[in-house]
Amino acid sequence: MTDTQLEEVWRREAPYVLAVLVRSYGHFDDCEDATQEALLAAATQWPTDGVPSSPRGWLIRVAQRRLVDQARSEVARRRRETSFAGSGASADEGTDADLDDSLYVLLLCCHPALTKASQVALALRAVSGLTTAQIAAGFLVPTSTMAQRISRAKATIAGAGGTFPPPAADLWARLASVRHAVALLHTEGHLSSSGPSLTDPGFSDEAIRLARLLVNAAPHDPENAGLLALLLLTQARAPARTTGDGDLVPLEQQDRSRWDADRIAEGVRLLETALPVGPVGEFQLQGAIAAVHAEAATWADTDWPQILELYRMLDSVAPSPAVTIGLAVAEARVHGPVVGLRRLDALGDSANHRVHATRGHLLAELGQRVEAIEALRSAARRTRSIPEQRYLNDLAGRLRVE
């Protein structure tokens, strides 16, 4: 077995091991430490001794031994004297026994006291079984910085009070948080590029894997399918989103034959099943908008009235500046640029560069070149993305020349 295959085994087993420990001992932070130590032991022992017949059983035994060792030490015993004995009770009650192990750990990671970024970092370790160094590399920060974030996140969970593990009802209530964390991870997937290329599949693929896990473990909530559909449909466009030189290609100019047809088909199928179930939430609506784009043969064929309707629904379910921008673009296509510009006025002189970029595009359509150039330049000044800045500066430059 190669190192990669070995790694796949312990990465796959990590959330099950952690779930077993937390269900019987409580104390997320200690159990997570013990799981990591068991994975480390596997990394050193398996390559020489071979993979045990039951890798999961082996990992659980090693992790449990670490926990017991720790519990025996004087300090640790004093710390957990009261709770250690009683903590097994919740598992006996079976309140969360119907929860899939991976989802269970994912819900534990998405503790409401943590920031989204911390929830994501913790989930990558606890559910995806990534090492701190791998997570740090993905976020382009030193390993020590990421280690600090993860240990702080665990300490926050340990210190947050309340019963641990939390009752199943409390965990289920975190499902929406989990979806947002997975969506953020998918965005970070694009962000994780350290080289000249814009799209690093690593985190994006992991986000899709976690969204799939959500759909399988909690199929009753159509928003999970909505999230998975959105991620698949977004990811489907990745090959066409940049040129070979790493330049951005706007949706309007993308070569649609390079979109991933399999991912689009799966995304559309998911939405067709999810949408009639209701209630229609933000991820289903965002997914549906992505699906309308995906199903149009060309930019000109896009069903803008339908997109406008979907944005109106999204605006009432989950309003945000990004939704207002989408609404403005759709209104401009259906009712003309002037209507779109009026919508953008509601956002004022925003720090969000996309407001200025969209204003620039719409002004250019109206032939107001001077104002368009000014808006595009102002968007270029505000963005933190080098490819976006280059795209906006080029566009403004072309308007000046014409």
Partner 1 sequence: MKYVILIHSNPQPWGHPTEQYVAEHQALPEGTRKQLNDEFEQAFTELMERGEFVGAEALGDPAASRLFRWREGERLATDGAYAEGKEHLAGFFLIDVDSPERAEEVARCFSGPGETVELRPVMSQSSDAE
Q: Rule CB under 8 A: which residues touch partner 1? A: 115, 117, 139-142, 145-150, 152, 187, 190-191, 193-196, 198, 241-242, 246, 248, 351-354, 383-389
**Cβ proximity to partner 1, 218 vs 248, nearer residue:** 248
Question: In the complex with partner 1, which residue's Cβ is closer, 270 or 325?
Answer: 325
Q: What is the DSSP letter of 129?
A: -
Smallest gap, in angstroms, from Cβ of residue 102 to partner 1? 25
Q: Which is nearer to partner 1, 66 or 149 (CB)?
A: 149
Please state the φ and ψ torsions of residue 242, each to the nearest 5 degrees. -135, 155
Which two tokens mark 271? 């939405």
Full DSSP string of 365-379: HTT-HHHHHHHHHHH
Residue 353 or 377 having the CB closest to partner 1: 353
Question: Given the complex with partner 1, which of 176 and 191 has the nearer CB atom?
Answer: 191
Contacts of 216 (CB under 8 A, 6+ apart): 100
Taking the least distance from each CB to partner 1, the nearer of 23 and 361 is: 361
Crossing angle of helices 321-335/304-317, nearest 10°? Answer: 150
Q: How far apart (Å, rounded) are the C-alpha atoms in residues 30 and 377?
A: 52
Under 8 Å between Cβ of 323 and 311: yes
Beta bridge partner(s), residue 242: 248
What tokens appear for 332 in the block? 């401009």
Minimum distance between the CB of residue 239 and partner 1, rounded to whole angstroms? 13
Nearest to 331, CA basis, from 356, 360, 354, 358: 358
Q: State the nearest-atom distance from the C-beta of 59 to partner 1, in Å.
A: 27
User: At closest approach, how far in Å is the CB of 355 from partner 1?
Assistant: 11
Q: Taking the complex as a whole, how short is the minimal distance between the CB of residue 185 and partner 1, in angstroms?
A: 13
Report in angstroms how near the CB of residue 115 gets to partner 1 at its nearest: 6
